[in-house]
A and B are shown apart, each in its own frame.
Chain A
Amino acid sequence: MSAFIQGCIMAFAPKTLFAILIGVMGGVIIGALPGLSSTLGVALLVPFTFGLDPVTAMGLLGGMYCSSIYGGSITAILINTPGTGAAAATVLDGYPMAKKGRAGKALYVSIVSSFIGGTFSTLMLLFIAPQLAKISLFFGPPETFMLSLFGITIIASVSGKDLSKGIIAGLIGLLLSTIGFDATTGYPRFTFGNINLYEGIPLVVAIVAFFSIPEVLMLVKNGSTKTEGSQTSGMIASDRKANMLSLKEVKTLIPIWLKSAIIGTFIGIIPGVGTPVACFVSYNEAKRSSKHPDLFGTGIIEGVAAPETANNAVEGGSFVPLLTLGIPGSAQTAVYLGALMILGIKPGPELFTRQGSLFYAIIMGLFIANLVMLLLGVWGIKYFEKLIQLPSTIMIPIILVFTVVGSFAINENVFDVFLMLVLGIIGYFMRLNGLPLAATVLAMILGPIGEEAMIQTISITHGQIWQLFTRPICLVLLVITILSVVMTARQHNNEKKASHKS
């Protein structure tokens, strides 16, 4: 109980609240601008966390994470372009609502639903995570090795259309993680005599390089200078009351909010399934259980509420495996894990036992972030039209400057900035060729953990690695790993068959 109170005090500290506010504001902007992903937002903020204490840093990142998911719905509703993948289902009813002149109402439903989804899933995180963490107390090096193996198979599920390319991207990440001194022999690998590479590629440099530079170069290449915001200008009612929900509408939405929040949280807990899946499942469920399913797609509030509740519910759910087992289920949580490791926070049972107050501070930070997002979202509805008209010619130099200065700030070393640019250009070519960069970053994070655990396992078992399978948790993890690979392969096959038929 004292840890909980201590966590609350830490989360309500003025600097944490300020960090959350900055994170939320940045997140809404990043999410609302088409072409900029929430992963980019979190990645850009990582270098800023260096000089901050863990709670403030987590507040900043948490604010960015949850609000950037909401931010994606703004463009989905106003210009028929989801700002992030998470808002793909919101387009279905959000944009028709905007065309009917009810954009303000759609944005209002979106922010309230996002708040409900985010708060519900954070509450679930508060109750589920400590229970799951108890299991991880039984984890030794063999279990950690199996867990990292499972984590790496998640690469397959974030690999997009082509499974083999996803695995190749992951293997490239594993290779990048081998740069620097070898853990067993101390021999410098792939350093070319450069002392700056002896410690390996700094994780933040890789994160910033792979998520920011390719995105910027794609924006430059595509050459769009202005978004389509003008198409819907004037669609937001200036009368604030007209946008608000009536009691009757709230009554209609309560079951949808509840169901979508449960679906989103559950899907979020499963690593690698992804936010878009949760949104479409919730949308379909809302449509299936509706008294008027034929109205879905024509611009009704239920069609906005379901996906928007689910996409923010995923966020809390995805923190469950991340904070208890150190398994990131998405690109955003992979970046978040990188930030945790940089700050010296080790996910797992120790976070709940030795650093209990920190865990509760992170949770409270998420609650506050959701509340700030709600207040900011309701207040900002009338300004969002202007925000989405911001041209990419202004955004590109801003992102570039933060990328350059951010990667310098890590070690105060110019070499890191060069490295970031080189990796970014490599990332750009990888992206052009369909190699998913999230898989590379995920492998870079999990690779060294897996390699270290493997060496320890070999040492413990005296080389008889088959002894792994005599440990029950290892066996369970092995089964889950195999199932994960088989199911993903089947899913990819089905998708391919479906696309061939169409």
Chain B
Amino acid sequence: MVRKDRLLAMVLVAFCVVGLLLTRGYPKEAAYYPRAVFLLIIALSIFLYVKADPDQMVNAKGIVCSFFTDRKLMSVILATLIMIALMNYVGLYFELPFFIIGVMYCIGYRNKKTSAIIAISLTLVIYLLFTVLLHIRIPLGFWVKIF
């Protein structure tokens, strides 16, 4: 167990050290500004470490585990990640209804009829807004080659 703010301070210091190492190869003028900011964060992290509230204790391992084992959270993130990764190949309008129904199912919505209606109508709204109104070139995936 460790004080919550101390854990945050340690993570921030580690992040800044990596950042400072990255600036080693930069020209002096380009490195000056980010280095100053990294050093300021380190200074404030030390302050944060010292004044950390002893009443707020956390388990570092527990925080990481609770994030990765939170089924709902992970499934929403993974579903979004998969949708983004497949966007160019499958096409956004094809994958959107599946994504919406999938996310709704993952977070506990079980009404199939409403899910389908929302999925289709939202995809239609997105099409009308972005393709028809704003002329954004939304990825259509392999469907372009077929049709």
Binding site for B on A (CB under 8 A): 48, 50-52, 164-165, 167-168, 171-172, 174-175, 178, 182, 184-185, 187, 189-190, 216-217, 220-221, 223, 225, 391-394, 396-398, 400-402, 404-405, 408-409, 412, 414, 417-418, 421, 425, 433, 435, 451
CB distance from B65 to the nearest CB of A (A): 14
CA distance A402 to B80 in the complex (A): 12
CB distance from A398 to the nearest CB of B (A): 6
CA distance A397 to B75 in the complex (A): 12
Q: B145 in the interface, Cβ–Cβ < 8 Å? A: no
CA distance A418 to B109 in the complex (A): 26
Which residues of B have CB within 8 Å of A182? Answer: 27, 29-30
Check if A48 sits within 8 Å of B29, measured CB to CB.
no
Q: Which residue of A178, A220, A404 is within 8 Å of B84 (Cβ)?
A: A404
Which B residue's beta carbon lies closest to that of A451?
B33
Interfacial residues of chain B within 5-63, with CB under 8 A of chain A in the complex: 8, 12, 19, 22-23, 26-27, 29-30, 33-34, 37-38, 40-41, 44-45, 47-48, 51
Check if B107 sits within 8 Å of A217, measured CB to CB.
no
CB distance from B66 to the nearest CB of A (A): 9
Q: Which residue of B34, B73, B84, B108 is within 8 Å of A393 (Cβ)?
A: B108
Q: Can you report 18 A-B residue pairs in the complex whose CB atoms are below 8 A from each other? A: A48-B134, A165-B48, A175-B38, A175-B41, A178-B37, A182-B30, A184-B29, A216-B76, A217-B77, A220-B72, A223-B72, A225-B107, A397-B99, A401-B122, A404-B84, A405-B92, A405-B138, A451-B33
Binding site for A on B (CB under 8 A): 4, 8, 12, 19, 22-23, 26-27, 29-30, 33-34, 37-38, 40-41, 44-45, 47-48, 51, 70, 72-73, 76-77, 80-81, 83-84, 87-88, 92, 96, 99-100, 103-104, 107-109, 114, 118, 122, 126, 129-130, 133-139
Which A residue's beta carbon lies closest to that of B7?
A433
Q: A164-B51, A223-B72 are in contact. List 17 more A-B contacts (CB 8 A).
A: A50-B136, A164-B44, A178-B37, A182-B29, A187-B26, A187-B27, A189-B23, A190-B19, A217-B73, A217-B77, A221-B73, A223-B108, A393-B107, A397-B100, A404-B83, A408-B92, A435-B8
Which B residue's beta carbon lies closest to that of A391?
B109
A-B interface contact total, Cβ < 8 Å? 132
Which residues of A have CB within 8 Å of B96? Answer: 401
Check if B87 sits within 8 Å of A171, measured CB to CB.
no
Which residues of B have CB within 8 Å of A171? Answer: 37, 40-41, 44
Which residues of B have CB within 8 Å of A165? Answer: 48
Check if B103 sits within 8 Å of A396, measured CB to CB.
yes
Which B residue's beta carbon lies closest to that of A179?
B34
Q: Which residue of A174, A392, A409, A425 is within 8 Å of B136 (Cβ)?
A: A409
CB distance from A449 to the nearest CB of B (A): 14
CA distance A187 to B27 in the complex (A): 8
Check if A421 sits within 8 Å of B44, measured CB to CB.
no
CA distance A225 to B138 in the complex (A): 31
Which residues of B have CB within 8 Å of A435? Answer: 8
Check if B73 sits within 8 Å of A167, measured CB to CB.
no
Decide yes or no: A164 and B135 within 8 Å by CB, A185-B30, A220-B73, A409-B130 being known contacts: no
List 9 A-B pairs, minimum CB-CB distance, nearest first.
A51-B134, A393-B109, A182-B30, A187-B30, A397-B103, A397-B100, A409-B136, A185-B30, A178-B34
